[in-house]
Structure 1
């Protein structure tokens, strides 16, 4: 069974481990154990039971090492030496190291596999979303939801698992300390209880500080993106640059304050726990002899045991920070997963990749679409017909609705009102994938991927031919399975984008101001040679253009203004 399938069914070992420190995934809630029920009710799970045995083995070995050290110290005190104890010490130390390494390695691997499955499930749902949904979520939210939060969580796994092993070791060593001195054991218990109580009391404030830090970081990252994307404008305008710098300083100060507040809480907890631990050791040395009259030899053994306890106690205290960070990251991951899943479930069940019958006609009747937000732009009452094998130009000023219309036609945006029919069949508000398979596109904000996804060997051959056709083949490497578009100009990227679109062999080609960034000779060849050849091959072309000198190259021209089609826009070209 694949790991991502386990998430859909019974909980995997990694899911169970995540549940122990606050996993809140919605689809697992019905079966998600609480922290305590997870600890005591998961022995039926062989994986957790095995890890528990390894943790117990590690604790037993660590405690026995301490016992042997005290026993051998007493032997040396009476001028004795035991070869057997020395051998047992080394053997137990090897087992302790192996068990601790095995526990951390196996637990973190299982959790990473569970996170991998969830990341894949979320990615699948994001791929199901419409362009409208992704824009609603926001680019930064999507990137964080499938990447950044997982990275934060992964960084906490090793310390948390090590801290859990430290808890078991602390219990066993405390038991040994009880045998040596109930008073010292009581002091140790008081330190642990006070530390945990302090953490629980400040956890709400910690969550608030971390949330504030995340919000500040989002704002700062947005400015950092503007620093890169708007470098030209900032370089040319010193007033704009100074104001932008001041804004970055303010956001950076907010980010630093949020992080430092959270760090201050953790530092106070850590310092208090460590100080209390050393105070406990001091009480054993300076106070216990006065109260209980313990012999000097017993004091020495108790001090050794207390010193060994400082390590597990410090590990547990430091784990609190990692648990808080992990819980926060898990909450962010779960919230994003639930949001994406809710959006994805709105779409039709048809997610097939099957091709539609041969395209004949696409008809829009009274179609409207409104962008999200108050007083948002909309296109309204769109009536048009697109027929097989024709070239339709779309013209209009900036903000007239041309790109929005193309996105509605291609199914990237759902139409809010009206009817869309393809070959006489009415389409749902969210058209199925079989409909979107009609279109190949080069939008104005197109993206050239690092690899020509979706192209087989025949497709790569077609891509090679079109790249040669557009005089851009020599700019790319010998192997077209990897494409580096960073060194290309905007016009060159558009040539690569069009070559990729044509290599897909779709029935309708959508281009948005493709020729705007081309040199005059390429622009002329596009309109006078490429488009007629594509039409002769049976393609339907829908192109946004402002090249009025080439309006005679289309069969019809559609003009838009303020989200509407003008009355004479669909008149046949004379």
Structure 2
């Protein structure tokens, strides 16, 4: 039912129109069968009206089916677009830790495969409506010819449909498992694309990945998919064959048990043969409906169902601040091993003011990046509070709070154009020249050449984007770690002082102790706790 709710939610008027037109085309098609049956009678052979009615019915079928399919094609595409747009909104509104736990391979599988499956099921809906109307009207026509025969026909058809649905239910188990396996295949394909250099550099690793990781995952998915599809195919074939068995019983058994006129028998045979086509259409659509239902369940399982998400709001007001304070902040990771305690950060007390540089130092895995994500509002603290100008930041104001920060993380993504700010060619030239990446920027359009970049160039482009945002606080996560000595000097001796002079706060995660003189304060994190806070200006 979620699929139909989704379609009605997109446009109930278009949904109703497509259903009505599809049903009308089904009635017009049944009228063709009725006219054909009447044409075999003596009265029909001599009638001059039947040919005209037959032509009119043909035109009606043509027009109604075309209109119905055109409406539903637009409806299915708009529904898919709406679903994908709302899923994207849900993803962007969801907490970052939840998205990281889901994994990019599952998100991509949902956005690409599941939305397509839903669209495919919706695209054939009008013809299914027409087929359903033909079946209902056909049963009524059969009852008009002979009620006992109609009862037996419905009974046989019910057995055929019930057996088919039992096969569908059996196949669902394998198809659901195949959908789960597809996430694993997507994950490994993603690993192959991003790890292609490592695979090419080691033939043994490449062979192990293909034959022990990728191929087994793909084989498991396809085996389940084949098994489920085979069961569906067998059930579909049996459903169709059972109808012909019913026709055989009607022709060879029924006349021996009850009296029936040849005209009635011919009408039944002709109508039932015709009804096999719409019934086959409905039965053939059920697997697509089943795939769509599995996809909707997958979306539900990811917590990304189509409930409206709060859209980002652009706030044009002044986003300056006098102080940002973290009080008694803590955050805990859940251990993947049951019974063990995960990494814990905190309690952390820290304050940031405009025009100062704060360096955060510590060993790998001590919690520096986690602290930066909490500071920038990407991770919600499990306890404690963040205050801006002595006002507590709650969930409702967290979106606005995040707009205070321009960030460059270790594994940050680069878009191929400047987004989120008005193009300022003069400022763009200034930072591109300062960072030595003039050849990577189109100053007229804001396009960025994000391909064939070294890690150092990638981070310098990311810094350019951050500087173009001109936010009050800059957060750099080990930005200088992959820079050559020249750009390290530029960063610590020129860029950090320039940002401070403009009243920006700079928070830098770094291991470069020889440049600590550039900081106003240095905070050292050890095992998730603040060990020392040093005023470097006073030390110098």
What TM-score results when the alignment is normalised by the length of structure 1? 0.81
5+ long unaligned stretches in structure 1: 1-14, 26-44
Aligned-pair CA distance for 1:510: 0.8
Aligned-pair CA distance for 1:537: 1.4
Partner in structure 2 of residue 453 of structure 1 = 419
5+ long unaligned stretches in structure 2: none
Partner in structure 2 of residue 62 of structure 1 = 29
Is this contact kept in 2: 1:391–1:540, CA < 8 A? Answer: yes
> Is 1:233 matched with 2:198?
yes
| Range that drifts further, 417-426 or 379-388 | 417-426
Query: What are the equivalent positions in structure 2 for 1:209-224 lying under 5 Å apart?
Result: 209-224=174-189
User: Which of 58, 77, 87 is the matching residue for 1:93?
Assistant: 58
Aligned-pair CA distance for 1:318: 1.3
The separation in 2 between residues aligned to 1:136 and 1:341, in whole angstroms, is 20
Query: What are the equivalent positions in structure 2 for 1:157-196 lying under 5 Å apart?
Result: 157-180=122-145, 185-186=150-151, 188-196=153-161
Is this contact kept in 1: 2:431–2:464, CA < 8 A? Answer: yes
Partner in structure 2 of residue 313 of structure 1 = 279
Do the aligned partners of residues 305 and 482 (structure 1) sit closer, same or farther apart at CA in structure 2, a change above 3 Å counting? farther
User: Which of 331, 335, 346 is the matching residue for 2:297?
Assistant: 331
Partner in structure 2 of residue 377 of structure 1 = 343
Secondary structure (helix, strand or coil) at the match of 1:524 reads helix
Do the aligned partners of residues 110 and 198 (structure 1) sit closer, same or farther apart at CA in structure 2, a change above 3 Å counting? same
Do the aligned partners of residues 411 and 86 (structure 1) sit closer, same or farther apart at CA in structure 2, a change above 3 Å counting? same
Do the aligned partners of residues 549 and 49 (structure 1) sit closer, same or farther apart at CA in structure 2, a change above 3 Å counting? closer
Partner in structure 1 of residue 322 of structure 2 = 360
Query: What are the equivalent positions in structure 2 for 1:550-565 lying under 5 Å apart?
Result: 550-565=515-530
| Range that drifts further, 58-67 or 190-199 | 190-199
Do the aligned partners of residues 66 and 411 (structure 1) sit closer, same or farther apart at CA in structure 2, a change above 3 Å counting? same
CA offset digits 1:343-368 (Å, max 9, x no partner): x89xxx99773656632223334322
User: Which of 373, 382, 386 is the matching residue for 1:420?
Assistant: 386
Secondary structure (helix, strand or coil) at the match of 2:532 reads coil
Number of residue pairs matched by the alignment: 533
Partner in structure 2 of residue 10 of structure 1 = none
Do the aligned partners of residues 81 and 471 (structure 1) sit closer, same or farther apart at CA in structure 2, a change above 3 Å counting? farther
| Range that drifts further, 467-476 or 280-289 | 280-289
Partner in structure 2 of residue 130 of structure 1 = 95
The separation in 2 between residues aligned to 1:20 and 1:340, in whole angstroms, is 9
Is this contact kept in 2: 1:384–1:570, CA < 8 A? Answer: no
> Is 1:395 matched with 2:352?
no
Aligned-pair CA distance for 1:272: 0.4
> Is 1:386 matched with 2:352?
yes
Aligned-pair CA distance for 1:456: 2.1
CA offset digits 1:233-286 (Å, max 9, x no partner): 333334433433223232222212221222122112111012122333444554
Aligned-pair CA distance for 1:376: 2.0
Secondary structure (helix, strand or coil) at the match of 2:407 reads strand
> Is 1:526 matched with 2:512?
no
Secondary structure (helix, strand or coil) at the match of 2:412 reads coil
Partner in structure 2 of residue 517 of structure 1 = 482
Secondary structure (helix, strand or coil) at the match of 2:328 reads strand
Secondary structure (helix, strand or coil) at the match of 1:212 reads helix
CA offset digits 1:381-430 (Å, max 9, x no partner): 32333222112222222212211111111111122233433333343478
Is this contact kept in 1: 2:356–2:505, CA < 8 A? Answer: yes
| Range that drifts further, 384-393 or 402-411 | 384-393
Is this contact kept in 2: 1:414–1:430, CA < 8 A? Answer: no
